A and B are shown apart, each in its own frame.
Chain A
Amino acid sequence: MLTALLGAHLAAAAGALLLRRHGRRTLLLCALAPAAVLAWLATVLPGVVVRHRTVEETVAWVPSLGLTMGLRLDAFGALMALLVSGVGLLVFLYAHSYFAGGPADAPGKDPVAGLGRFAATLVAFAGAMLGLVVSDNLLALFVFWELTSITSYLLIGHKHASEHARAAALQALLVTSTGALAMLGGFIVLAQLAGTWSMAEVLADPPTGALATGAVLCVLAGVFTKSAQVPFHSWLPGAMAAPTPVSAYLHSATMVKAGVYLAARFAPAFAVATPLWQPVVIGVGVVTMLVGGYRALRQHDLKLILAYSTISQLGFLIALFGTGNETATFAGVAVLVAHALFKATLFLVAGIVDHEAGTRDIRRLSGLHRELRPVAVVGCVAAASMAGLPPLAGFVGKEAAFSSLVDAGDPGAVAMLAGLVAGSALTVAYSFRFCWGAFADKPRADLAGEPAPAHPAPLAFWAPAGVLAALSVAFGLVPRLDSPLVEAATAALVPGAHPHPLALWHGFNLPLALSGVTVAGGLALVLARRRVEALQERLPSPPGSLEGYNATLSGLRILAARTAAVAQSGSLPVYLGVILLVAVVAPATAFLMEGPPALSTARFADSPLQVVAVAAALAAGVAAVRSRRRFAAVLALGAVGYAVVALFALHGAPDLAFTQLLIETLGLLVFVLVLKHLPERFHTYRWRMGQVLRIGLSVAVGAFVSVFALTAAAARRVEGVSHEYLARSLPEANGHNVVNVILVDFRGLDTLGEVTVLAVAGLGIAALVGAVRRGAPAGDAPGRPGRPGRGGDGSDESARAGAR
């Protein structure tokens, strides 16, 4: 069934592409896929949650390599699948309204068809994300992980006419997939150490030792890049170039949680066993929470406030799951659910504001709570949940987190608690900044220019956000609604866990006091808003993640350019010299290391004709070297080749002889064609270093090839394959000519590779010559004689040629 559901996503994507002329309606078609997943989850959820069952399926993937794709749905997977499909369904419904009335985010000329592509990519993402959270095979997990990166790339770059969007998309792809490559390396090492590709089996009996530690750190690189942790976080604000439904779905509720998901899976097994795990993961998480919160306070774009707040909250989650113990994991799951609910809501609200007011800049928004009253209520409820105010889901999750750390009580936990309290105070401040920025009546001092007018939003537009906000309230007021699922998910992560149910009210205790501290701290930050902003302006901003990314890219470019300048000098004699030198030195080294080679017993000749052919070849060779005229030299070279043809024929190799004959002829003809462009005579060399080197190299090549030919026949140690080929040629390949049978059958795959190289070479010739011609200065471009006013700038010309 899981497989079928994954297939449904693919089918929906294909359908959306086929029906792309229908524009917005394809979004509703695509909504069917997550709806189907929700319906199926409803049937299996009781078994998974109450009886801790797992749904397992095995799909033969590449059976000949022993690869099977294990799908496994446990309670945590079910929770993630619920989020992916639930939020997905709402986002599709929301996008249907979002793209109504003017293609605000249309990518180009054909907004309607662009929407079909958008819907297809989005539903493909939903399928990939679902696959990610139900994969048990580590390789399958990696594949789905990369699929989410690629669909994210396409969705961020949806407005592909915008250079900014393209750069942001590329950055997201490069950062996340670089981390994913490290993660793949870690997976491979772990799987080899554990002897299985099944994640459940690896985690049940985690490998230990230095190699395992390195592998786990590699996996963490994937986790940190995907979940936008410091110092890799800068791609996430850039990803806000995507249309808002994408930001709500991928970059807050689901995709960025993939790293959190993996950390949650791995932590119980590796947090204690791997020495570096806890300091690295918890440290990175807490620092990310603080950096994200600090940066969110200086943003003016609603979506950027949310992006940095997402970074901050992801840090919170990573830190909680990073501990790997039962109570913190339990709190982590609760916060994960709460965050998905409120953050998706907030993004949807930001999109509505953007859509109805035409801007997301809080310096141009004022008094929107009048026009957008229901939206403002929804947004403020979600922001309150984010700030951790009672009685909302965010509060319940944060209380659970604080109490787990208070209970632990060791110095590490206290330090982490201090970080999280400070981070939560920042959270309160930026939650307020969002609400105030989007909806409040603002004094002149806080505005830049006239406030933008806004229209009321239709019910269908804000209803999805309303549903999510209502869930935030419901899970806060009655935590028993989602507590069983959170408990079961914790038990699925930490074996043998029996956490206490979530509760809204624990009595007057330290966690509640800490909540009070965070709210007070947040309010202080809010009240001192202007002073905080001024302080942030004055403080030197530390070298950011974006600068690091740009420096890495330009460094790579410089490295590539320098390498190419050294390796590709552009001189044919140098290339040829290097090739020949390697051809002599590498095998000769092997010769020297093996000791003096045994010479095969050489006969003088089998027939007088062979003597004649060799004599002819020698004479022609001498003539080629002695000749002063290019044409004569080419003819003499050809004569050498034809003499070799005669030798092959005399040895009884008609196929070889024939091929050599044709190649020789073809080579001669091509030479003749080229010769008319070359000087008639060779240069007269003086004795110089270059000349000496050439002669030395030529002699070395000749001597080496002779020795090689004499010894190669004696070097055979096992029976040759030729007898077997001869015996099998007719019965198995239906051919009498064993040479051709080897080419097209026994070694047919080699031939396939070779002809592919030929075809690529053909395309390469066309592309290179085309590029040279387009880049050629004016007057040299064939076929456009007498075109006036062209300078040396070929790119201008090619641009015009392309436009025609």
Chain B
Amino acid sequence: MTAQGDDRWGDPRGDFDGEGTESPPSLILDVCTRAVFHAAVVFAVWLLAAGHNRPGGGFVGGLTISAALVLTYASGGSPALRGVLPVRPLTFLGVGMLTAQATAVIPMLLGRNVLESAAVTLHAPLFGDVKVATPLFFDIGVLLIVIGLVAKALDTLGAADPTAEHETPTVSGEIVSGGRRR
């Protein structure tokens, strides 16, 4: 082994350990991931909604879902990741940016300051009085961006890695949409 080994990051085609000897995906991991995934999403939504008044928020919610995505990717690679994403990662990024920017700009158009917040109290049947503040939408944007970034990174870096090549025959930089879309 040479001292240059630390720089392997720069060379995507270095002779990797384990190339071609990759073990098949673990069944236990797969089942656990399936069990945890939806719980993680629900938890993230709760974090998002509660964030303004209790610990949580868009960034944390996004990270929670991201962790679930990484698990999914670890268990089933790019195909599994695509299976759970309803739209392409860049769409997450774009919609997230739009949402966040809109929360910033719309108050300006109404003659207020950038990102100025407002709150509405809604009377929802089961939940009682729910106070909705506009920063919630900003948080949603943040959440979507975090998810989009992690998903894009996983998908792109995974597709670039030679061992994932066998599983992803027709990728050209973009996800071909998952099964739900068709």
Pair A740/B52 contact, Cβ less than 8 Å: yes
Whether A655 touches B60, Cβ cut-off 8 Å, given contacts A666-B150, A669-B74, A752-B104, is yes
Pair B142/A662 contact, Cβ less than 8 Å: no
Chain A 730-765 residues near chain B, CB threshold 8 A: 732-737, 739-741, 743-745, 748-749, 751-752, 755-756, 758-759, 761-763, 765
Does B135 lie at the interface of the complex (its beta carbon under 8 Å from any beta carbon of A)? yes
Smallest CB gap from B168: residue in A: A782
Pair B159/A755 contact, Cβ less than 8 Å: no
Contacts of B141 in A (CB 8 A): 755
Does B80 lie at the interface of the complex (its beta carbon under 8 Å from any beta carbon of A)? no
Does B156 lie at the interface of the complex (its beta carbon under 8 Å from any beta carbon of A)? yes
Does A677 lie at the interface of the complex (its beta carbon under 8 Å from any beta carbon of B)? yes
Does A702 lie at the interface of the complex (its beta carbon under 8 Å from any beta carbon of B)? no
Chain A 518-567 residues near chain B, CB threshold 8 A: none
Docked Cα-Cα span, A573 to B156, in Å, equals 24
- Choose among B16, B117, B139 the residue with the greatest number of A CB atoms under 10 Å from its CB: B117
Pair B55/A677 contact, Cβ less than 8 Å: no
Contacts of A681 in B (CB 8 A): 1
Chain B 61-100 residues near chain A, CB threshold 8 A: 63-64, 66-67, 70-71, 73-74, 89-90, 93, 96-97, 100
Pair A683/B160 contact, Cβ less than 8 Å: no
Does B106 lie at the interface of the complex (its beta carbon under 8 Å from any beta carbon of A)? no
Does B3 lie at the interface of the complex (its beta carbon under 8 Å from any beta carbon of A)? yes
Pair B54/A737 contact, Cβ less than 8 Å: yes
Does B178 lie at the interface of the complex (its beta carbon under 8 Å from any beta carbon of A)? no
Pair A783/B115 contact, Cβ less than 8 Å: no
| Number of chain B interface residues as a range | 35 or more
Q: Which of these, B9, B70, B169, contacts A572 with CB under 8 Å?
A: B9
Contact code string B139-164 (vs A, CB < 8 Å = 1, else 0): 10110011011101110111111110
Whether A683 touches B6, Cβ cut-off 8 Å, given contacts A665-B67, A676-B22, A755-B142, is yes
Contacts of A756 in B (CB 8 A): 97
Does A790 lie at the interface of the complex (its beta carbon under 8 Å from any beta carbon of B)? no
Contact code string A661-690 (vs B, CB < 8 Å = 1, else 0): 011011001101100111111011100001
Does A796 lie at the interface of the complex (its beta carbon under 8 Å from any beta carbon of B)? no
Does B38 lie at the interface of the complex (its beta carbon under 8 Å from any beta carbon of A)? no
Does B125 lie at the interface of the complex (its beta carbon under 8 Å from any beta carbon of A)? no
Q: Which of the 9-residue segments A11-19, A370-378, A443-451, A766-774 touches chain B?
A: A766-774
Smallest CB gap from B162: residue in A: A780
Docked Cα-Cα span, A769 to B161, in Å, equals 10
Docked Cα-Cα span, A467 to B127, in Å, equals 78
Smallest CB gap from A767: residue in B: B173
Does A654 lie at the interface of the complex (its beta carbon under 8 Å from any beta carbon of B)? yes
Pair B56/A783 contact, Cβ less than 8 Å: no
Smallest CB gap from B3: residue in A: A683
Pair B115/A745 contact, Cβ less than 8 Å: yes
Q: Which of these, A683, A758, A782, contacts B165 with CB under 8 Å?
A: A782
Does A208 lie at the interface of the complex (its beta carbon under 8 Å from any beta carbon of B)? no
Does A605 lie at the interface of the complex (its beta carbon under 8 Å from any beta carbon of B)? no
Pair A741/B153 contact, Cβ less than 8 Å: no
Contacts of A684 in B (CB 8 A): 1
Docked Cα-Cα span, A776 to B146, in Å, equals 29
Docked Cα-Cα span, A651 to B89, in Å, equals 37
Docked Cα-Cα span, A801 to B168, in Å, equals 17
Pair B3/A685 contact, Cβ less than 8 Å: yes
Docked Cα-Cα span, A591 to B102, in Å, equals 43
Q: Which of these, B8, B54, B55, contacts A678 with CB under 8 Å?
A: B8
Q: List 27 A-B contacts (CB under 8 A).
A: A572-B6, A572-B9, A658-B55, A676-B163, A683-B2, A684-B1, A734-B52, A734-B117, A737-B56, A741-B135, A744-B58, A744-B139, A744-B142, A749-B115, A751-B142, A752-B101, A755-B145, A755-B146, A759-B148, A762-B89, A762-B90, A765-B156, A770-B156, A773-B159, A780-B13, A782-B159, A783-B168
A residues sitting closer than 8 Å to B (CB atoms) are 570-573, 654-655, 658-659, 662-663, 665-666, 669-670, 672-673, 676-681, 683-685, 690, 732-737, 739-741, 743-745, 748-749, 751-752, 755-756, 758-759, 761-763, 765-766, 769-770, 772-773, 776, 780, 782-783, 801
Extra contacts besides A654-B55, A734-B131, A762-B90 (13): CB < 8 Å:
A570-B7, A570-B10, A673-B74, A677-B8, A683-B6, A734-B52, A736-B53, A737-B53, A737-B54, A744-B57, A749-B114, A776-B13, A780-B13
8 cross-chain pairs, A with B, having the tightest CB-CB distances, nearest first: A662-B63, A744-B135, A736-B53, A734-B119, A748-B115, A669-B70, A654-B55, A735-B52
